[in-house]
Structure 1
Amino acid sequence: MKKIIRISVLLCVFPALSILAERPNIVILLADDLGWADVGFHGSEIKTPNLDSLAQAGVQLKQFYVQPTCSPTRIALMTGRYPFRCGGHISVLRPWHQHGVPLDETLIAQVMKDAGYKTAITGKWHLGLARRAYWPTSRGFDLAHGCLGGAIDYFTHEGYDSLDWYDQDTIPLHEEGYSTDLIGTRASKIIIDHNFDQQPLFLYVPFNAPHSPYQAKEADIEKYSHIKDENRRIYCAMVDSMDQQIGNIIQSLKSKEVLENTLIFFASDNGGAGNSINLPYRGNKGTPYEGGVRVPSFIHWPKGLEGGRDFDRPLHIVDLFPTFTELAQGDIAKCKPLDGINFWPALAEGKAMPKRDIIHNAKDARGRGSIRSGDWKLILSKPERAPDGMPVADGKLMAELFNIKDDPYEQNNVVHQHPEMLETLWGRLKKRAPEIVSAAPYIARAPEGWEAPADWSNAPE
C-alpha cells in the first residue's frame, strides 16, 4: 500500500511520469503524393475539415522532411535509417523487382510488438512484394490489409493487371469498394475491435490517395465541379475522400474513449505530383527541392502534448522511429544504428534540438545528393559531368546552395557567394559514401516476357 501511495505522489508532482505510465496508442496516417498546399490548414480549397481540426488542436510541424519518392520514405519511416543504408535510395519498388527492405533491418512494428503493442496496417505497403518474407506480417504486424505494391486501381484493386488487395498479406481479397473507403473502414474496425484495456495499439494507415491513377467517386467529384481542369477536380475529390475516412477513424477512437491518449501523426510520403499544388515551395515529387521533400504534417495527442501551436525546427521522417519507440518504452538495442533523433524533449518541453544534418538523399561516392545543415541546404546533381573539384561543367553550375531561413522558396542560388559552405556541405555528403549500400538494379520497365501473376498469394517465402 505504501508503494502505491508513493507512486501516486510522484505522479502528482511529476505529471510527465503519468504519461509514460500510460503509454499512448499510436496512429500514423500517411498520404501518398499530397501537395503542401492541398490541405485546408494550408489554405487549400479542398475540403479537409478533419485534418484541419486535428492540425489546429495539435502541433503543426512546419519543417517536416521526407525522401523525394515513395518507397525510400517508407523505408526511412519503418527503419529509422536513411534508405541509402540498405540500397533503397534510388527509386520506388516495382512488382518485377526481387528485393525489398533487407531482412536484417528491424522495423518499427517489430519494436512496438515486442513492447506489448497490438500492431496493424491497412493501406499501401510498397516495401517488397516478390517474397512473403518482405510482407507486413513477416515484419512485425499482427494484422495486415490492403495492397503490397503501388499505383493500384482504386475500384478494381489491380496493379499491373494483377490483383493487389489482401487480408493478412496472403489471402487475396475480392472486396468491392473504393480503396480509400476500404482502408478507412478497416482502420475503424481495427480500433473498434481492439481491447485497449489489455494492450495499446500501434496502427499504421498508409493511404494510397491521392496517388495516380486519378479516380474518385462521382459524389466527391461533384463537390469540385467549379474546377475546370478535370484531373485537378478528381485529385481534389480524392483528398476529400481521404479526409472523410480520417474523420471516421477519429470517431472510432472517440467511441472507444481512447482519443485523448492516442498520438496521431500525419504526413505525406513526398511532395505532390502532377495535379497537386506545392506552392509556395519550389519543385515537386522526385526532386530534392522543398516542394519535393517538405510535406504537410502534424502531431495530435491531447493527453501528452500541448496543442494549438507550430513547431518550426527541421525534422525528418527517420526521427519517428526513435521518438515513438521511446514513448512506447520499446527496446531498440537490437536495431542497427538509427539516423533519427528523439525530438520529443524539444517538441514537448522546449529543449534544444541536437545538432545534426538532414540527408534528403545520398547517391554515390562523388557526393551527389542533397543535405540540410542548420539553415543551409546543398543540392548536387550530375557531378559525373563535372571535372575534379567544384562541380561545374560547360559553364553550368551543378551545385545549388540555399539559405532556407532567408530563402525558403529556393529562388537564390548563393553558391558563388559562399564557396566555403559548398566545400563544407559537399565534404559531409562525400563522407557518407562508405555508408551507401549499392542499390539493387533498378529496372524501371518490366523485363521482356515478365507477366504479373493473377495475384501474389503464391509468392515464395
Structure 2
Amino acid sequence: MKTSLPLAGLCLLLLSAMVQADERPNIIVIMLDDLGYSDLGCYGGEIQTPNIDSLAQDGLRFTSFYNCARCCPTRAAMLTGLYPHQVGLIRNGRSLTKNGVTIAEALGNAGYQTAMAGKWHLSQTNPIDNRQKQLDWLNHQADFGRPFAPLDTYPANRGFQHHFGPVWGVVNYFDPFSLVDGTKVVKDIPDDFYMTDAITDKAVEYIETMSQKDAPFFLYVAHTAPHWPLHAKPEDIAKYEKTYIEGWQKLRDQRYASMIEMKLIDPQSFPKPQLQGDGLDWQALDDEHRKHMAQLMAVHAGMIDCVDQGVGRILDTLKSAGRFDNTLILVMADNGASPERYLNPGFDRPDQTRDGRNIQYNGVFDPGSEETWGYIGSFWANAANTPFRYWKAQSFEGGTHTPLIAHWPSGLKTKPGTLTDQPGHVMDIMPTCLEIAAAEYPQTYDSHKITPLEGKSLSPILRGEKRAGHDQLFFEHEGGKAVIADGWKLVQPKQNGKWELYHLAQDRTETKNVAVDHPQLLQEMKKNWHSWFDRVKPAD
C-alpha cells in the first residue's frame, strides 16, 4: 500500500510526458464551395487571395486533383475516404451513413481534438409538406418545433467535439437558415452577421482553445462561399466593381494566359476550348445588362476575397499560438463553379427576409444584399473554371477538378512553390490524415461494420516522392458519369447520355472526342465503370 501512491504518481507523470511530447501535426482542411478552378490568384485568377497564395508559394499545389462534382458527394468522400455512393450520398440532401467513419471520429479515437466551423450538408434535409410553411421556416418566420435534420446525423454526433455552422447547404449569408452550435439552434443573429466571417471567427476561437492543450487538433473549415446566393459585404464588392466589365470571354482569355505564364498549364496539352453556356455574346447585351452581369461576378469575387481574409486570420492565430509550423493546411473546393440559376423560391430558397422584405430573384438588380438572390450562371461559371469545360455537377474536368494546396512547414519535403501533376482524389484526404496522425482505420465503429478505405494516402507526394496512386478513378452524379485510367477519360454528359472519350495525356481540356477512333477501349472502360458502379451503389 505504501508504494501505490508513488507508483500511481509516476504513471501519471509518464503519461503527462507522453502527452506533452505528442508531436503529431495539427490538421486543418479548408473547403470552399462552388469555387472556380482558376478563381484563386495562385491558380491564375485575378481575385485578391494573398493569404491562400502565400500557402501555395511556400507549399505544394496539385494540378490533377479531383472531387465528386457536387457539394454533398465531395464532402462525404473527403471525410470518409470512400466513394460517396458507399456512405449514402449518391444524391444531395441525404444523411452520411454509419458504415463509414469520419476523419473526426477516427482522429478523435487517436487522441486528437476535433472541431468544425461551417457547412455540413450531410444530413437528410426533408422539407415541410406545405410550400407556405416551408417558406415560413426558411424565412425565420416560424420554426414549427422541428429540428433541421435528424440530430444523430449532425457533425456534433459524427466525431466533432465542437461545431458551429449550417446543417443545410444553402444560406442567406446575412441571416442563415439551419444555423446550429452543436445541436442547438442559433436564433440570435446580430445585425452585422456575415456567414463567412462567422465561420472564420469560430475557426479562430477553436484554434485558440485547442492550442491551450498539448493534444494535436483536427479542424474542418467548411465555407459556404462562394456558393449562391451572391451575398457579399459592400467593401469587398467594391474592389471588383470594374474588373469584369469586358465580359466572360475576356476573363477566360486573361486567365488562360496567366496560367501559361505561371506554368500551371502547357497550351499543347491544355488547348483552350470554346466557352459553354447561355448568353455567350457579351457585346449583344445592352449596357444595363452588361453592368448587371459584371456586378454578379464582382460579388462572386468579393465572397472569395472575404474567405481569403479569414484565412489570413487563421494563419495569424496559428502563429500566435505557436502551432503554425507543425500544422498541415489543405485548401480545396467541393466542385467547379456553378451554372445554377433557380429563379423562384422554394425548398432551400426563401422568399422574404426575417422582417418581411421580399427577395428579388429575377430581373436586373444590384446584387450582394440579402434582398437579392443572384447567381453567376453558366457564362461566368465556365470562365471561372478556365482552362476546363463545363461546371459543377458535370463529370467533365470543369466539374470534377479542384485546386489543392498543401502547406506544412515542418513536414512538407517538397521545394516551396512546387507543382505536382500526380493525380489524387478527395477520398485520399482521410488516409492521409490517418497516416500522419498515426491513427488506425477501424473495422468497426459504434457497433457498425466499417467499409474498407478506397482512398490512398497522399503522404508520399508530400514527401516529394512518386506515389502508387489509383489505377482508375470513377465518377457518377445524377447521370453524369466518368472513368479515368492510363491517361484516358470516358465521360457521359448529363444532358444527352452519349459516351465521349478523351485522351487526357494529350488533351487535358477535353476538346477532341475520339470515341469513334477507339471503340474497343470505349467498351472496356464502359464495362469497368459499370462494374464499379454495381459495387459501390447502395442496395436501395
Specify the TM-score bucket, using the shorter chain as the normaliser. 0.7 to 0.9
Mapped to 2, the partners of 1:358 and 1:372 lie a distance apart of: 5
Asked if structure 2 preserves the Cα contact closer than 8 Å seen for 1:88 and 1:439, the reply is no
Choose the corresponding residue for 1:342, options 435, 442, 457: 457
Paired letter, 2:188? H
Find the counterpart in structure 2 of residue 361 from structure 1. Answer: 476
Question: What is the CA–CA distance in structure 1 between the aligned matches of 2:393 and 2:467, rounded to whole Å?
Answer: 32
Which residue does 1:211 correspond to in 2? 227
C-alpha deviation, 1:382, in angstroms: 6.8
Distance 1:21 1:356 in 2: 36
118-127 vs 165-174, which deviates more?
165-174
Q: Distance in 1 between matches of 2:50 and 2:200?
A: 16
Aligned length: 395
TM-score scaled by length of structure 2: 0.70
1:196 Cα deviation from its structure 2 partner = 5.2
Task: Give 2:207's match in structure 1, choosing from 191, 197, 217.
Answer: 191
Moved more, 246-255 or 227-236: 227-236
Aligned to 1:128: 123
Match of 1:116 among 111, 118, 134: 111
Q: CA deviation at 1:423?
A: 1.8
Q: 1:196–1:336: structure 2 CA closer, same or farther, 3 Å change rule?
A: farther
CA contact (8 A) 1:84 1:362 kept: no
Q: CA deviation at 1:279?
A: 1.0
Pairwise CA distance, 1:21: 6.5
Mapped to 2, the partners of 1:312 and 1:154 lie a distance apart of: 35
TM-score normalised by L of structure 1: 0.82
Alignment equivalent of 2:297, drawn from 223, 232, 247: 232
**Superposed CA offset, 1:114-156 (max 9, x none):** 0110000000000005201110011000000010011100001
Q: Distance in 1 between matches of 2:466 and 2:408?
A: 19
Unaligned runs of 5+ in 2: 1-20, 125-148, 246-293, 340-375, 444-449
Deviations 1:57-106 (A, max 9, x none): 1100111100111000011011111012234123x21xxxxx40113321
1:381-392 map, 5 Å: 381=493
Of 312, 315, 318, the match for 2:424: 315
Q: 1:100 to 1:78 in 2, by over 3 A?
A: same
**Corresponding letter in the other structure for 1:236:** A
Alignment counterpart, residue 183 of structure 2, candidates 157, 169, 187 = 169
1:362, 1:436 within 8 Å by CA — same for their partners in 2? Answer: no
Runs of at least 4 residues of structure 1 off by over 6 A?
A: none
Partner of 1:325: 434
Q: Which residue of 2 aligns with 1:29?
A: 30
Tell me the equivalent position of 1:3. Answer: none
Residue in structure 2 matched with residue 270 of structure 1 by the alignment: 335
Q: CA RMSD in A?
A: 2.0
Task: Give the 3 Å change call, closer, same or farther, for CA 436–363 of structure 1 in structure 2.
Answer: farther
The answer as to 2:171 corresponding to 1:152 is yes
Q: 412, 422, 428: which one pairs with 2:522? A: 422
Structure of higher CA gyration radius: 2
Query: Once the 2 structures are TM-superposed, how far is the Cα of residue 197 of structure 1 from its aligned partner?
Result: 4.6
SS at match of 1:26: strand
Structure 1 unaligned regions, length at least 5: 1-19, 94-98, 159-163, 386-390, 392-397, 441-461
Question: Quick one: structure 1 residues 173 and 186, their matched pair in 2 at CA, closer, same or farther if it must change by over 3 Å?
Answer: farther
Q: Distance in 2 between matches of 1:403 and 1:303?
A: 38
- Report the identity percentage: 34
Helix, strand or coil for the counterpart of 2:202?
helix
Range with greater deviation from structure 2 (401-410 or 274-283):
274-283
Q: Is the contact between residue 388 and residue 398 of structure 2 (CA under 8 Å) also seen in structure 1? A: yes
